[in-house]
């Protein structure tokens, strides 16, 4: 499981600088971590600490200036053509704001189908069948597939975003603040949906969230980012309850857990408020 070649994701010494008015700003500074298959790595840290930049490097939406990442053992920088397409099919991403992330002029069905059309050679009929199964798997009715994004609730739109992210049956899914734009009652449903999919599909997640409760609930391992650097990593319950690094302690103190009902029960009913 923890062999380098079987890890869902290996990140090694990634550096990313942004150039703004001719000065370079190091947004990610020598970050390394790994995600074992079937596990969730939660990344926390203050706004601007480089979390989304790491995600963009991992997904190869941008190229790092140094270092490398391996998705299921393969460095996306070293493959081209059909091998790169296959590798892209091995990853998915769920964004923070589902309505903004989904093309407002496309039907949900076509939004979910798009990665299948781009990264696979499935026939149109197979794509249709796969999309129907995906909608069902995330708890949407087939009639939701005919709608435009603005005709769904926030929670439904995020379910569609999840369906799109898992459409090509990826091994690794990046969740960048997947529930922070949702109402609290809906957050729990989407988190439980993600947990079920992880279990059933053996998914690995890179979860980015400023909500420490969410990260604690979802993650096996956690890492704390500060100004581009990963200052602490370890088992999520240790890092987020008994951190060894002073910065993590400050972060925990600044974001006290909200007592009460925010976190769903494991295996709780994720479909209860569906419509
Ligand atoms: N395209 C860009 N050009 C220049 N600077 C950028 C660009 N994208 C991000 N940055 C800067 O890089 C730093 C890291 O940004 P990033 O989006 O990775 O942070 P983050 O940890 O995801 O923050 P948040 O929690 O607010 O989403 C920030 O200071 C940001 O302003
Ligand atoms: Mg971000």
Per-domain boundaries in the chain:
1-90+172-257, 91-169
Which atom of ligand 1 lies nearest, measured to the CA of 56? 18
Residue in 27, 54, 93, 181 to alter for ligand 1 test, most ligand atoms within 8 A of Cβ: 27
CA 46 to ligand 1: nearest atom: 25
Which pairs from 201-204 meet CB under 8 Å and 24+ separation?
A: 201/166, 201/169, 202/37, 202/38, 202/171, 203/38, 203/166, 203/170, 203/171, 203/172, 203/173, 204/8, 204/9, 204/35, 204/36, 204/37, 204/38, 204/39, 204/40, 204/41, 204/171, 204/172, 204/173
- Structure-block tokens of residue 143: 């009639």
Ligand lying nearest the CA atom of residue 45? 1
Mean pLDDT for 26-40 is 97
pLDDT tens-place string over residues 167-204: 999 999 999 999 999 988 899 999 999 999 999 999 99
Rounded to a whole number of angstroms, the distance between the first and last alpha carbons of the chain is 39
| pLDDT, position 2 | 45
Taking the centre of ligand 2 as the mean of its atom positions, its distance from the CA of residue 17, in whole angstroms, is 15
Q: Could you give phi then psi for residue 211, rounded to 5 degrees? A: -95, 105
Q: What are the pLDDT digits (tens) for 123-176?
A: 999 999 999 999 999 999 999 999 999 999 999 999 999 999 999 999 999 999
Ligand nearest 53 Cα, by number? 1
Q: Which residues surround ligand 1 with Cβ inside 6 Å?
A: 18, 20, 25, 27, 45, 47-53, 210
d(CA 63, CA 178): 23
CATH 3.40.1670.10 fits 1-90+172-257, yes or no: no
CA of 15 to the centre of ligand 1 (A): 13
């Amino acid at each position: 499981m923890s062999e380098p070649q079987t890890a869902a994701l290996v990140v090694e010494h990634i550096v990313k600088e942004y150039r703004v008015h001719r000065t370079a700003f190091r947004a990610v500074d020598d970050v390394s971590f790994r995600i074992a298959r079937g596990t969730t790595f939660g990344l926390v840290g203050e706004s601007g600490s480089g979390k989304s930049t790491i995600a963009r490097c991992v997904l190869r939406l941008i190229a790092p200036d140094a270092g490398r990442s391996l998705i299921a053992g393969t460095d996306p920088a070293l493959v081209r053509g059909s091998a790169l397409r296959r590798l892209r099919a091995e990853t998915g991403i769920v964004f923070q704001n589902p309505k903004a992330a989904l093309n407002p002029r496309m039907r949900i069905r076509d939004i979910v189908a798009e990665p299948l059309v781009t990264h696979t050679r499935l026939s149109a009929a197979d794509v249709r069948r796969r999309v129907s199964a995906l909608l069902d798997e995330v708890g949407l009715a087939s009639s939701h597939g005919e709608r435009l994004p603005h005709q769904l609730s926030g929670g439904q739109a995020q379910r569609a975003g999840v369906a799109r992210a898992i459409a090509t049956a990826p091994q690794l899914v990046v969740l960048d603040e997947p529930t922070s734009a949702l109402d609290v009652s809906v957050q729990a449903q989407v988190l439980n949906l993600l947990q079920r999919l992880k279990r059933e599909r053996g998914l690995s997640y890179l979860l980015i969230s400023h909500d420490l409760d969410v990260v604690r609930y979802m993650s096996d391992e956690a890492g704390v980012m500060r100004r581009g650097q990963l200052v602490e990593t370890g088992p999520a319950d240790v890092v987020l309850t008994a951190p060894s690094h002073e910065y993590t302690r400050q972060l925990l103190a600044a974001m006290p857990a909200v007592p009460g009902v925010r976190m769903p029960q494991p295996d709780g009913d994720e479909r209860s408020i569906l419509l």
